[in-house]
Amino acid sequence: MTFSILWSLLSSIPFPSSQAQAATPWLTPLARIAVEHAEIPTYDPDTNCAFVAAGHHVVMIHVGGGDDACVMRTIDVVAAAGLPEQVEGEISHVAIDPRGRGFFAATVIPSERSSMPGRVVFVSTRTARVLSAVWVGFQPDGCAFSADGTKLVVVNEGEPTILPGTPAAVVDPPGSISVVDLSGIAVGRDLTKLRQRASTTYFVGGPDVDASALRIHPFHARSPGLDLEPESVVIHEQRAFVTFQENSALGVFDLDARAWRALVPLAPMARVCDVSDRDGGAHVDAAIEAWPMPDQIAVASVPAQGGGERIVLVVANEGDDRGDVFEATSPLSDSARIADLRARGRIADSVPTTLDRLKVDAHHGDRDCDGVIERPLALGARSVSILDARTLELLGDTGSAFEQWMARECPTLFNADAKDGAPKLDARSDDAGPEPEGVRTLRYDGRTYAITTLERPGALALIDLTQPCEPRVLGVACVASDGDFAPEGLTIVAAEDSPTGEPLVIVAYEGSGTVVVHRLTLPRHD
């Protein structure tokens, strides 16, 4: 597809007007708690406490009535994880037991992440005592319980370590998932009897899986399985849905059969976005195609045509790269500015020079294999996508709505880099723009919503998913204006579980080192 045709198609897409999407304020901060390295929160309705992954620790916050939230204790999970002496660790994720048995799970990544498997640690929500720990795969990056609490699924990213040398050496463990059998756990104290045999790790592969069809780095062309990096997981019934961010793919693991059933490539998407960090602000007008490259994933139920319910998957298309091929020494680097590719004769003359600041995939998009990229592909679709959980069919996508909203409602934070404080306007337009990262869903008053974190500019977006083929962005809260930077993970407390009787949103802001309890105000529908 030529760029003129692509632009013609994209310019015909009707973006909702400001008037059509006007909404009352939907997010109100109730309490702000200082938590250094805050990353992922989870909430336990039985104790009215949030548990937050924060560096070496899990911080226990009593939510109270929302406006009086406070830190109750800091739990040194890493020290109790059973790592070898002198090996440090970091908490990457936490998840609360859905059956109310009085414990949470925390995944621990050892500092020797490419040569030592990680751990999952189970901790009492009432006493903060570590109940048990088991080994899992390399670099556990997320986890989720099955609804019945009989299984915990851990995604092990298996990122490579690059060792210095000429040429540089690569230690790249395989990505995997681990399934921890909790079927014999009736109450939390039963975990003290949990043994290592309860944890089984599965590498990505099998007769139903073809990794060669995915976005695979040329370095791993002959062993594509080593390039696969599971990122996030959600479970519906007995299927675990796994995102592969760097590979722009989605996998399905059958928990009954303990086998991979699918590994589906997520195709590049047509986008209109701001592609330059040097154009003086918000200019959402460039046509490009982009790999989705999803980070976090959630599941939701929406009304189906003809009655009943339809289960959908909701993914945040953040984007990621492994370094600039012209700057990094790593043999796995995979991105480059179009201008740098052009200077080396690796970009077709048909690609407009107005795209030159954009960073794109340096290894894909060469249609005729002549060493020249005719179809540059950006890294990250800057959107949230909705897929059918049964067929994995793409139903809808928010397109350019996040950038449109930011440009209109909070232009001083447009595609800003606010991760380390003092927002730098437009600084991320040449990368992945707003970077949707965390996503959670909620059913309320007969409608289905999602909230996603926009990491770099410091914002949260509210999306109505009730019609999944036409998701509507209802509002963007520019939280960086309040000093809360780099929202990473979030959890939504449903009204029936909330101490206030109305929905709450608890967000971990890694950049500012804060955890904020927000009141969520959703529109009523007659």
Where are the chain's structural domains? Answer: 321-379
Note down pLDDT in tens along the chain; length 526 residues: 443 334 333 333 333 333 333 334 899 999 999 999 999 999 999 999 999 999 999 999 999 999 999 999 999 999 989 999 889 999 999 999 999 999 999 999 999 999 999 999 999 999 999 999 999 999 999 999 999 999 999 999 999 998 888 788 899 999 999 999 999 999 999 999 999 999 999 999 888 888 888 999 999 988 888 999 999 999 999 999 999 999 999 999 999 999 999 999 999 999 999 999 999 889 999 999 999 999 999 999 999 888 889 999 999 999 999 999 999 888 999 999 999 999 999 999 999 999 999 999 999 999 999 999 999 999 999 999 999 999 999 999 999 999 999 999 999 999 999 877 678 999 999 999 999 999 999 999 999 999 999 999 999 999 999 999 999 999 999 999 999 999 999 999 999 999 999 999 999 999 999 999 999 999 876 5
Q: Which residue has the tokens 């990056």?
A: 141
Instruction: Return the half-sphere exposure (C-beta side, CA atoms, 13 A cut-off) of residue 180.
Output: 29
Distance of CA 157 to the CA centre of its chain: 13
Predicted TM-score (pTM) of the model is 0.93
Please check whether residue 182 is in contact with residue 122, taking contact to mean a CB–CB distance below 8 angstroms: no
The CA-atom distances, in angstroms, between 408 and each of 22, 33, 50, 475 are: 11, 30, 34, 11
Residue 493 φ then ψ, to 5°: -100, 115
Please check whether residue 56 is in contact with residue 89, taking contact to mean a CB–CB distance below 8 angstroms: yes
Distance CA 376, CA 347 (A): 8
Three state DSSP letters for 123-189: EECCCCCEEEEEECCCCEEEEEECCCCCEEEEEECCCCEEECCCCCEEECCCCEEEEEECCCCCCHH
Three state DSSP letters for 416-472: CECCCCCCECCCCCCCCCCCEEEEEEEEECCEEEEEEEECCCCEEEEEECCCCCCCE
Residue 220 per-residue DSSP state = G
Distance CA 423, CA 514 (A): 16
